[in-house]
Amino acid sequence: MGKRGKKYIEASKQLDTDNLYNPLDALKLVKSMASAKFDETVEVSMRLGVDPRHADQQVRGTIVLPHGTGRTVRVAVFAKGDKVKEAEAAGADIVGGEDLAAEIENGNINFDVAVATPDMMGVVGKIGRILGPKGLMPNPKAGTVTFEVGKAVEDIKAGKVEYRVDKASNVSVPIGKVSFSEEQLLENFQALLGAIIKAKPAVAKGVYLRKIVVSSTMGPGVKVNTTDISALTA
């Protein structure tokens, strides 16, 4: 058994796998079971009662978490003219146009999120085959195709995250680090959940929040009780 395996098993002893915890207790457990030497990310994973094969049952959006994500996000902006200065003033790490696209073509991808003004999408589209599979393609629904590049960069730096249902009806989003206080993690959790509940498709039938699990990067998952929706977001 590897070193990580032993730590995982030791941590799991604190966990009643059959129990459904309230959000605060779940997050306390996640923090106490984190045993890695680095500051692990805390993630929320949800199974939603939607069928993503239908366009009217997509769940996708963004939210700026109250306490951010705890990670430093490098932002690249495709812009020209006055928008270059606006992006730089807002703290963009890389700003460019054709030159930036050429760098990406050459395999130099030194950013986590890409933002583009609408008039630069012709340039961005040419490298879509590179950006798309890496989840880096700017998208209007994620607020990353916009002329308001300054606000977009500031929001991303402040802890803006995107949530998006996958083909299996799951959504996974980071809500902070284990070094965060329980209260910070709880407020981020509640903000995210509130946004996802608000994004519930009108045509979705039955139970919407089927399952919620919180975990740290290397720790076991803790199941959250979803029977009382109001308690989750209060």
Looking at the structure, do residues 139 and 206 belong to the same domain, yes or no?
Answer: no
DSSP assignments along 190-229, one per residue: HHHHHHHHHT--TT--S-SEEEEEEEETTSPPEEEP-S-H
Give the number of domains in the chain. 2
Residue 4 in domain = no
What does the pLDDT read at residue 13? 63
Residue 96 lies in a domain: yes
| 131 in the same domain as 32 | no
Q: Give the three-state DSSP class for 58.
A: coil
Range of the domain at 133: 75-157
The domain boundary, picked from 157, 177, 194, lies at 157
Shared domain check, 207 and 173? yes
Convert the pLDDT of each residue in 61-80 to its tens digit. 999 999 999 988 999 999 99
Q: Quick one: 165 and 115 in the same domain?
A: no
Nearest to 139 by CA among 158, 159, 113, 157: 113
Q: Which pLDDT does position 87 carry in this prediction?
A: 97
- The CATH number assigned to the domain holding 23 equals 3.30.190.20
In a domain, 224, yes or no: yes
Q: Over the range 65-101, which residues count as b (16 or more CB within 10 Å of their CB) and which as e?
A: bebbbbeebbbbbbbeeebbebbbebebbbbbbeebb
Regarding pTM above 0.85, the answer is: no
Count Cα atoms within 13 angstroms, Cβ side, for 201: 19
Give the CA diameter of the chain: 58
**Token pair 């498709």: residue:** 201
65 with 81, same domain?
no
**In the structure, what pLDDT confidence band is assigned to residue 157 with cuts at 50, 70 and 90?**
very high
- Of the candidates 150, 148, 127, 122, the one whose C-alpha atom is nearest the C-alpha of residue 137 is 127
Q: How confident is the model over 30-45, as pLDDT tens digits?
A: 999 988 899 999 999 9
The CATH number linked to 81 is 3.40.50.790
Burial status of residue 202 (CB atoms within 10 A of its CB: 0-12, 13-18, 19 or more): exposed
Q: Is 151 helix (H, G, I), strand (E, B) or coil?
A: helix
Same domain? 164 vs 215: yes
Same domain, 151 and 130: yes
**Cα 162 to Cα 182: distance, rounded to the nearest angstrom:** 22
Residues 53 and 164 in one domain: yes
